């Protein structure tokens, strides 16, 4: 069975990994990552779910990660039979209940993230490495 876990940045700019928890905090709700008996408040917009997959280097893939991947479909559309290295962001597609790689280097389409991740490499994330999307 796939491990359900989340990552989020705490207010000290450190990544925390564990279960996602919402707790009443004063007049509002605190978004927290909890592991064992420790919980950290995290910035809600940095929370991303673990996809259950690892990249070709064994690194866990989360929502918001920036990846390089072999895009054979783009190679074919360009009329070349060779491999094309694309860049994209891991995003959850709610309507299809799956994780997608949203292309940022070409025609801004999406590819479904499959179990075969031998051709995917995490190079950063949209929170720490936004500049990677400009290259």
Q: Examine the pLDDT at 20 and tell me if it is beyond 60.
A: yes
91: containing domain: 49-135
Q: How is residue 37 written in tokens?
A: 């008996």
Beta carbons within 8 Å of 36's beta carbon, 6+ residues apart: 18
Same domain, 68 and 97: yes
Query: Exposed e or buried b for every residue in 104-128, given b needs 16+ CB within 10 A?
Result: beeeeebbebeeebebbbbeebbbe
Same domain, 61 and 113: yes
Based on DSSP, count helices (H) and strands (E) in the chain, helices before strands: 1, 11
Same domain, 71 and 133: yes
Same domain, 91 and 70: yes
Same domain, 38 and 54: no
Q: Domain total for the chain?
A: 2
Q: How is residue 36 written in tokens?
A: 């064992």
Residue 94's CATH number: 2.30.30.290
Same domain, 4 and 61: no
Determine contact, residues 34/22, Cβ cutoff 8 Å: no
Q: Examine the pLDDT at 124 and tell me if it is beyond 80.
A: yes
Percent over 70 (pLDDT), the chain: 74
Same domain, 100 and 57: yes
Same domain, 99 and 38: no
Q: Examine the pLDDT at 19 and tell me if it is beyond 60.
A: yes
Mean pLDDT, residues 109-121 taken together: 67
Determine contact, residues 127/64, Cβ cutoff 8 Å: yes
Same domain, 70 and 113: yes
Same domain, 36 and 72: no
Could you tell me the pTM of the whole model? 0.82
């Amino acid at each position: 069975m796939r491990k359900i876990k989340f990552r989020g940045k705490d207010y000290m700019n450190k990544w925390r990994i564990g279960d996602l928890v919402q707790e009443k905090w004063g007049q509002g709700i605190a978004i927290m990552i909890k592991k064992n008996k420790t919980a950290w408040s995290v910035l809600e917009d940095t929370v991303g779910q673990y996809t259950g997959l690892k990249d070709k280097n064994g690194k866990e893939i989360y929502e918001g990660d920036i990846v390089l991947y072999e895009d054979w479909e783009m190679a074919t559309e360009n009329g070349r039979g060779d491999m094309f290295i694309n860049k994209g962001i891991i995003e959850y597609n709610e309507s299809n209940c799956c994780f997608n790689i949203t292309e940022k280097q070409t025609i801004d389409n999406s590819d479904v993230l499959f179990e075969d991740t031998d051709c995917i490499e995490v190079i950063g994330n949209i929170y720490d490495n936004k500049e990677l999307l400009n290259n």
